[in-house]
Amino acid sequence: MSFLPVEQQLEVIKRGVTEIIPENELIHKLKRSIKTGKPLRVKLGCDPTRPDLHLGHSVILRKLRQFQDLGHHAILIIGDFTATIGDPTGQKKMRPSLTMDEIMENAKTYFDQASRILDAEKTEIVYNSEWLGKMNFSDVIRLASKYTLARMIERDDFTNRYENNEPIALHEFLYPLAQGQDSVHLKSDIELGGQDQKFNLLVGRDLQKIDEQEPQVCLMMPLLVGTDGSAKMSKSYDNYIGIDEPSNDMYGKLLKVPDELIYTYFELISDVPIDELPAIKEKAEKDPRNAKHDLALTITRMYYDAKTAQDAREHFEKTIIKKDVPDDIPEFPQQTGSYRLIELIRSVGFAPSNGEARRLIQQGGVSADGNQIKDVNTEIHIDTETDFVLKVGKRKFGRIICE
RNA sequence: GGGGAGAUACCAAAGUGGCCAACUGGGGCAGACUGUAAAUCUGUUGUCUUUCGACUUCGCAGGUUCGAAUCCUGCUCUCCCCA
C-alpha cells in the first residue's frame, strides 16, 4: 500500500475539521503508516436509533470516505449495544432504549444509506455488542472504576441537564465508557466524531492509555447548521435535508439555506475539490443567488446524477419562481360523481383533516387550473371529461381525472 | 428513610369550579412580498360540521358536583432539600 505524502494527506484530512487532538500524533501516525505501508484504523461510531440520514450526518461520513480514499481503513461501528442503553450526547432528554430487532433493522437502513457516501466494499462493519455484550458485571465495575464522577460531569450536557432539574440516569455515565471501550477493543488510531462528541472521543483516548495502547487521535467535525440557519441540522428541529429525499425537494431545501452558510455547505458536504473552494467563497459573497443554485445543483448531483439535478433546477424555476405548474404531477383518478372540494383535498392526502382542508381554502391556498377557489362549499363534479390540476399550498399539485 | 414541588396541546408556558378547545411565545401551515421554500408583515393552528352547534383533549384510574384542566381518593412518573 502506498500513501500520499503527509502534507497532502493532511490537506485533505483537515478540510472542514474543527479540532484534531493532538495534531502532532496524527502526523506521527501518518508518517509511520507511509513507512510501514500499514493503513490507519479510522473508527466512526454510528447510532442506530435514527436511521434516516441527512446532510448533517454526511459531514462525518464524508470525512471517513476521505480517509478511505487516502488508503486508510474505515471501521464503522454499529452501536447496537450502546443503543440499548440510550445515548444522552447532545440531547436534552435521555433517549429511549431500543430492542435488538429494532436496532438491527435500523442498522441495515443506516448502512444502506451510508453506502451512498462511503466505499461500502472497503468498510469494515462491526457491532459493539460483540465485545460489550460479553462483559460481565465485574468487568463493568472495573471499567467504571477507571473514571471519576468529577470528570464525567465536566461534560456540558450533563451539567446543563442537572442544573435544569432534568433527570440523568446512572447508566448514562456508562455510555462514554462503553464508546471508549470500543476504541480499546478495536485499537483505533483515529476516531471521528461531531464536535459534540469530543468528550466521548477523549474518554477513548484515556481508556487506551490506561490499557497501555497508543491512544487514538480525536478528530472533530463541526455540526452542520440546518436550513433554519441557527440550530444544528436535526430531524427533531425539522431543519434537515435527508440524503434520500426526492431530488426536487433536496434542491428546493438547499435554496432555503441562509446565504452565510453557502460556503460552509460546500466545504463540509460537497465533493468539490479543495482548490476550487476559494473561488466558491468569493462567489458566495458576491453572487449568493447563483452560488446557492450551484450548491443545490452540486449536492443534488452527488446523490442523484447531473441530469436529475438539472431537472430539479428546472422544476424549481418553474413552480416557485414562475409559479407555474410542474411537468410531472401525480394523478388522482376519481370515480364519476359529485364531491365536496374539502373531501377531495383530504382524500388525495393534501390535508390531514376536513378542518385543515377548509382552512386552506379560506386562506386562499387552493386553486384549480390556476383559479383560486375561496368558497368552502365548492362541489366538484367528476365525469369522463374531468381533467384539472388541483394545487394546495405552494407545493402540492395533483391532476384530478376520471377513473 | 423524612420533607417539599410538579406532570397542560408539536415544544415551552399561563390557567386553580362555569366567560376554557384552553392566554402567550416558539414551531408548523396559508397569504402578501422576495433571487429563494430566507427575512418581514398578516392570518391560522383538536375532530366533525356551511352557520348554529356537537364531540374528544389538560400524567393514569376512579369519585364529588347541574357543571372539573381546576375539588377529593388511589396510582404512575419527575425534580428539589435533609439524612
Burial grade of A239 (CB within 10 A; 0-12, 13-18, 19 or more): buried
Q: What is the per-residue pLDDT across A104-154, written as a single tens digit (0 to 9) for each? A: 888 888 888 899 999 999 999 999 889 998 999 899 989 999 998 888 878
Give the CA A358 to C1' B43 distance in Å: 14
Identify the CATH homologous superfamily for domain A245-321.
Tyrosyl-Transfer RNA Synthetase (1.10.240.10)
Euclidean distance between CA atoms A89 and A76, whole angstroms: 19
Q: Where are the domains of chain A?
A: 6-221, 245-321, 331-402
Contact A233, A227 (CB under 8 A): yes
Contact A248, A42 (CB under 8 A): no
Is residue A173 scored above 70 in pLDDT?
yes
> Which residues lie below 8 Å from residue A109, measured CB to CB, with a gap of 6+?
A51, A52
Euclidean distance between CA atoms A382 and A55, whole angstroms: 43
A159 touches strand B (CB under 7 A): no
Contact A192, A42 (CB under 8 A): yes
Give the CA A245 to C1' B26 distance in Å: 27
On whether the A331-402 domain is CATH 3.10.290.10, my answer is yes
A33 touches strand B (CB under 7 A): no
Helix (H, G, I), strand (E, B) or coil at A202: helix
Is residue A62 scored above 50 in pLDDT?
yes
Euclidean distance between CA atoms A254 and A180, whole angstroms: 36
Q: What is the per-residue pLDDT across A81-93, written as a single tens digit (0 to 9) for each? A: 877 665 444 344 4
A130 or A2: which leads in pLDDT: A130
Give the CA A212 to C1' B37 distance in Å: 54
A191 or A151: which leads in pLDDT: A191
Given the cut 0.90, state whether the ipTM is greater than it.
Answer: no
> Which residues lie below 8 Å from residue A64, measured CB to CB, with a gap of 6+?
A42, A44, A74, A76, A118, A192
A167 touches strand B (CB under 7 A): yes
Task: Choose among A186, A191, A192: nearest CA to A211.
Answer: A186
Q: What is the pLDDT of residue A302?
A: 94
User: At which residue does the C-alpha cell 378542518 appear?
Assistant: A355
Q: What is the per-residue pLDDT across A66-80, written as a single tens digit (0 to 9) for each? A: 999 999 999 999 888
A22 touches strand B (CB under 7 A): no
A93 touches strand B (CB under 7 A): no
DSSP assignments along A276-313, one per residue = GHHHHHHHHHH-HHHHHHHHHHHHHHHHS-HHHHHHHH
Q: What is the pLDDT of residue A8?
A: 93
Euclidean distance between CA atoms A311 and A297, whole angstroms: 10
Domain A6-221 sits in CATH at 3.40.50.620
A 182-241 residues, CB < 7 A, strand B:
228-229, 238
